[in-house]
């Protein structure tokens, strides 16, 4: 048996991540008990009542701590879109932490739901009938169309080969890509998300027909094709990739292929800076572009999202400033 160190996060609590040591020959039921015993008092409920979910995104990548803490619960008290772990299966089951499992720094492996968490979450939600969509915009839920921003992006795509979206986390970059692809169905929009820890940027992009190393593009001619590169901050350190793509591609990327580069603007001093080649990108949408206008704020509050009517319009008067301020706090939940 192999001793594993699994990083766990309790859903809905801002207690941070903690590690649990356990042998892979044990069952998930034993993992429940280990999580309670090694939670340093954070969990007081009986371990049999804990629910465990695999902390993998729909793309198969392990979550990071910030994303895990922001996971919302559905009406059943389950994290949306995550696989519930079967207590009768081995920890080393191929579905969970099999022979190929290799933990890395910054990963979260297990989402823990404690008894009553669903009810607590419902009471604390500003939108009782709506749950945030952590992977961007869910078109099945009420949302802002952001028509002006979508058209601003489209104009930039038509005029140039590269457009940069750079703004803080949660500002709506991934949602904008979703809205753009839906509105401009005449364009072939291809999602490329850099959220894999096992594949480099060059290898990942080559899966979509663009190989920056061999200078070859296999995307068939026809209608305009836009490759929407998301979470690019994850591969900021790959200077060779960005140089080859942005500065060295003019001679071999065909005219019908365009790129939208979406990256979270990070303020921390110890994170990689954006590649120097980003400076040569003429068209950029930044934080100010993603801020909602007052009209959109009113529209947001009128969406059928379960917010009680008496709470929809709260004016923050500060001198002559009577613009709706509260709505801006809610946009992250809608987008």
Distance CA 216, CA 78 (A): 44
Q: Would you state the structure tokens that stand for residue 92, as one six-digit string?
A: 């080393």
- The reported pLDDT for the residue numbered 20 is 97
- The reported pLDDT for the residue numbered 221 is 87
Q: Among the CATH numbers 3.40.50.300, 3.90.550.10, 3.10.129.10, 3.30.360.10, which is that of 147-288?
A: 3.40.50.300
Non-local (6+) Cβ contacts of 130 within 8 A are 141, 142, 305, 306, 333, 334
> 214-225 burial, b for 16+ CB within 10 Å, e for fewer?
eeebebeeeeeb
pLDDT tens for the chain, 335 residues long, are 889 999 999 988 878 899 999 999 999 999 999 999 999 999 998 999 999 999 987 667 888 888 887 787 766 677 877 889 999 999 999 999 998 888 888 899 999 999 865 444 443 343 333 334 445 566 656 677 788 899 999 999 999 999 999 988 878 898 899 899 888 989 999 988 886 544 688 988 988 899 999 999 999 888 899 999 998 988 888 899 999 999 888 899 999 999 999 998 765 444 457 888 898 999 999 988 888 777 777 777 666 655 555 555 544 444 444 444 444 444 444 44
- The reported pLDDT for the residue numbered 119 is 44
Distance CA 94, CA 84 (A): 14
- The reported pLDDT for the residue numbered 290 is 86
The verdict on domain 3-124 having CATH code 3.40.640.10 is no
Non-local (6+) Cβ contacts of 49 within 8 A are 114, 115
Which residues of the chain form CATH 3.10.20.90? 3-124
> 187-203 burial, b for 16+ CB within 10 Å, e for fewer?
bbbbebbbbbeeeebbe
Which residues of the chain form CATH 3.40.50.300? 147-288
Q: Are 11 and 111 in contact (CB under 8 A)?
A: yes
Phi, psi of 116 (to 5 degrees): 80, 0
Q: What is the pTM of this model?
A: 0.53
Distance CA 158, CA 151 (A): 10
- The reported pLDDT for the residue numbered 5 is 95
- Give the three-class secondary structure for 107: strand
């Amino acid at each position: 048996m192999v001793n594993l160190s699994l990083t766990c996060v309790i859903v809905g609590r801002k207690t941070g991540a903690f590690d649990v040591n356990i042998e892979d020959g044990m069952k998930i039921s034993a993992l429940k008990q280990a999580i309670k015993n090694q939670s340093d008092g954070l969990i007081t409920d009986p371990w049999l009542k804990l629910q465990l979910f695999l902390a993998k995104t729909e793309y198969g990548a392990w979550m990071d701590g910030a994303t895990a803490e922001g996971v919302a619960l559905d009406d059943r008290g389950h994290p949306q879109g995550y696989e519930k772990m079967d207590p009768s299966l081995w920890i080393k089951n191929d579905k969970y932490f099999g022979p190929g499992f290799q933990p890395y720094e910054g990963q979260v492996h297990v989402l823990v739901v404690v008894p009553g968490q669903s009810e607590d979450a419902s009471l604390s939600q500003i939108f009782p009938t709506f749950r945030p969509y952590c992977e961007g915009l869910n078109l099945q839920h009420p949302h802002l169309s952001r028509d002006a921003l979508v058209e601003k992006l489209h104009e930039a795509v038509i005029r140039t080969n590269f457009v940069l979206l750079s703004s803080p986390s949660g500002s709506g970059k991934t949602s904008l890509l979703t809205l753009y692809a839906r509105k401009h169905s005449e364009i072939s929009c291809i999602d490329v998300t850099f959220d894999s820890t096992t594949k480099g940027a060059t290898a990942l992009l080559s899966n979509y027909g663009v190989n920056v190393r061999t200078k070859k593009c296999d995307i068939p001619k026809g209608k305009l094709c836009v490759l929407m590169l998301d979470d690019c901050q994850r591969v900021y350190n790959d200077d060779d990739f960005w140089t080859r793509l942005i500065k060295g591609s003019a001679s071999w990327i065909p005219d019908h292929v365009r790129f939208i580069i979406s990256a979270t603007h990070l303020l921390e001093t110890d994170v990689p800076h954006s590649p120097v080649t980003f400076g040569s990108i003429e068209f950029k949408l930044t934080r100010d572009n993603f801020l909602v206008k007052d009209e959109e704020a009113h529209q947001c509050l009128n969406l059928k999202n379960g917010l009680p009517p008496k709470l929809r319009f709260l004016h923050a008067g500060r001198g002559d400033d009577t613009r709706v301020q509260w709505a801006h706090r809610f946009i992250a939940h809608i987008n």
